[in-house]
Chains A and B, each alone.
Chain A
Amino acid sequence: MSINLNVPDISARPVEKCVTKLKTEQVSLFYGSFQALRNITLDIPSRCITAIIGPSGCGKSSLLRLFNRMNDLIPGAKVEGNVELDGIPIYDARIDVADLRKRVGMVFQKPNPFPMSVFENVAYGPRRHGIKNRGQLEEIVEKSLRQAALWDEVKDNLGQSGLALSGGQQQRLCIARVLAVEPEVILMDEPCSALDPVATLKIEDLMRNLSQTYTIIIVTHNMQQAARVSDMTAFLMIEPDRAGVLVEYGPTAQIFTNPKDRRTEDYITGRFG
């Protein structure tokens, strides 16, 4: 039984470009007796976009959900190994999961705005985190919607239902909802797979802008998208026992032009060409 006496604190550390933000060491994930991920080790740099690619079912979503402990919601899910956010082991029993998720927000594959007005959708997070002042909320909502490149489209009717927006707008609303709680990391699980090409490009633009300030991890099955937007790329594959493993991880340019692993090359040329 080892108890780490020095739980480091985030606020004490300086955050610079390309410092390691998230880190996994020999992480395995089980759903009951089924192993979905095996021995994943990778360092995710701060204020960059990291893409996770790989064939369907290889565990991309599962890996992504490790970073904000969304897998905790699945009965029988079990994590082995170490995941750290700014050097803090996030699977430590002393970690506050809600605070973790506040710092590591998530956007889902299917846009899931709440059945409330646009304003309430964005104000929801800040409200729950204790901001009551109307003026302050309005400020946050405007800022977040601007950051999410949605402000101009909705500013005249913030009272309309979030469900009344188009698919692309809904997804940007969900991004604004995450931005409103001022996270450090944004996880995106195939955020464009339900959208048309124009909306997709808009979101990709948005991601590039956001990566000035935020660390972004995006799961995508769209190779071009990974190549277009990401700085780093992680390629996962399925082993014969259906467990996902990390085949290769490195700068996107290198992964796409000069992959070290044969399987990466096969996958990229097979799908990319």
Chain B
Amino acid sequence: MAAVTLDSRKITQRAAFTLLGLAMVITTIPVLFIIIYTILKGGGAVTWEFLTQFPSQAGRAGGILPAIIGTFYLMLGTLIFALPVGVMAGIYLTEYARNNWLTRLINLAIANLAGVPSIIFGLFGLSVFVLAFNFGLSLLAASLTLACQALAMVITTSREAILAVPREYREGSLAIGVTKWQTVRHIVLPQAFPGIITGVVLAISRAAGETAPILVVGAAFLLPHLPQSPFDQFMALPYHLYTVAVHVPNMPKEIVWGVALVLLVVVLSFDMLAAAIRIKTRQRKYL
């Protein structure tokens, strides 16, 4: 013990802390690097025409309008299918479920659903929505598939947000003869709304970036028109990025980076929206 002087221990500490700090830098730098590099490389390609025109020459020229529109349709579809049932499931778990085997089973299912690889949701969607329900390789089938994937996240965030509503509010409402559902509808949900929205926006942003499931349930590489109905095929940003990056020979590099930049902006802006809602409502609480 005596051999280990304070000095050498201090040096060890300094060295160790440097390593830990380095780990933090290694984790952080790539994020900033990827964002900045993508902006620098892709910024030049992202013009008004790029955003508003159809692709030509297999994506080597023209714009990516159908991919952008397709991705927004997918987000909308995911929202429509995942939001109502996800929030309702959150309500069930917090307001109605008793502490029994069924509730434990539901919670187990949610936890495990969250860990299922996205490609497997693709297989599920292909088999169920595309083939069994006969929706074909369509916007509808893809939205339903992404909604299944988003379900776990919507349920968990709704559950947390609803749980955070104080019990006293519920009691105050029930104690004057308001029914349980009305209490949920008029007291609990408005209070939980910001938290639910935060989770839903995050889930939708995830869905916007998903590629593997829509690759399986049939995103189109090139379409000369926008989808006219939910049963139409569609293009999507992440899938477009995949094809132009991997499958199209002699692709102008700048365009690929441009697609990447647009995708990144769409996804990150929704993430930031979620963060903004979270911060805003947190402030309100302290008021």
Q: Which residue of B lies closest to A178 (CB)?
A: B176
Interface 0/1 of A96-112, CB less than 8 Å to B? 00111111011110101
Q: Name B169's contact: one of A99, A105, A106, A112 (CB within 8 Å).
A: A112
Interface 0/1 of A124-167, CB less than 8 Å to B? 11001100000000000000000000000000000000000000
User: Does any Cβ of A come within 8 Å of B175's Cβ?
Assistant: yes
Contact B172 A112 (CB under 8 A): yes
Return chain B residues, CB-CB under 8 Å to A99: 177
CA distance A128 to B187 in the complex (A): 11
Given contacts A114-B187, A128-B182, contact A105 B177 (CB under 8 A): yes
> Count the A-B residue pairs with Cβ separation under 8 angstroms: how many?
69
Contact A73 B174 (CB under 8 A): yes
Interface 0/1 of B50-86, CB less than 8 Å to A? 0000000000000000000000000000000000000
Return chain A residues, CB-CB under 8 Å to B98: 75
User: Does any Cβ of B come within 8 Å of A251's Cβ?
Assistant: no
B63 to chain A, nearest CB (A): 47
Q: Which residue of A lies closest to B177 (CB)?
A: A102
Contact B176 A177 (CB under 8 A): yes
Q: Tell me which residues from 157 to 188 in chain A have a Cβ below 8 Å from any Cβ of chain B.
A: 174, 177-178, 180-181, 183
Given contacts A98-B177, A100-B177, A125-B176, contact A70 B171 (CB under 8 A): yes
Return chain B residues, CB-CB under 8 Å to A115: 169, 191
Return chain B residues, CB-CB under 8 Å to A100: 177
User: Does any Cβ of B come within 8 Å of A264's Cβ?
Assistant: no
Q: Tell me which residues from 51 to 100 in chain A have a Cβ below 8 Å from any Cβ of chain B.
A: 68, 70, 73, 75, 98-100
Q: Name B174's contact: one of A70, A113, A174, A180 (CB within 8 Å).
A: A70
Return chain B residues, CB-CB under 8 Å to A70: 171, 174-175
Given contacts A112-B168, A112-B172, contact A129 B191 (CB under 8 A): no
Task: Give the interface SS of chain B, mostly helix, strand, loop or mixed.
Answer: helix
Q: Which residue of B lies closest to A174 (CB)?
A: B172
- Number of B residues contacting the other chain (C-beta, 8 Å)? 18
A112 to chain B, nearest CB (A): 4
B242 to chain A, nearest CB (A): 47
Q: Name B172's contact: one of A68, A177, A180, A183 (CB within 8 Å).
A: A177
User: Does any Cβ of A come within 8 Å of B173's Cβ?
Assistant: yes
B77 to chain A, nearest CB (A): 34
A96 to chain B, nearest CB (A): 9
Return chain B residues, CB-CB under 8 Å to A68: 175
User: Does any Cβ of A come within 8 Å of B179's Cβ?
Assistant: yes
Return chain A residues, CB-CB under 8 Å to B172: 108, 112-114, 174, 177
B34 to chain A, nearest CB (A): 42
User: Does any Cβ of A come within 8 Å of B14's Cβ?
Assistant: no
Contact A108 B178 (CB under 8 A): no
Instruction: Give A contacts to B, CB under 8 Å.
Output: 68, 70, 73, 75, 98-103, 105-108, 110, 112-115, 124-125, 128-129, 174, 177-178, 180-181, 183
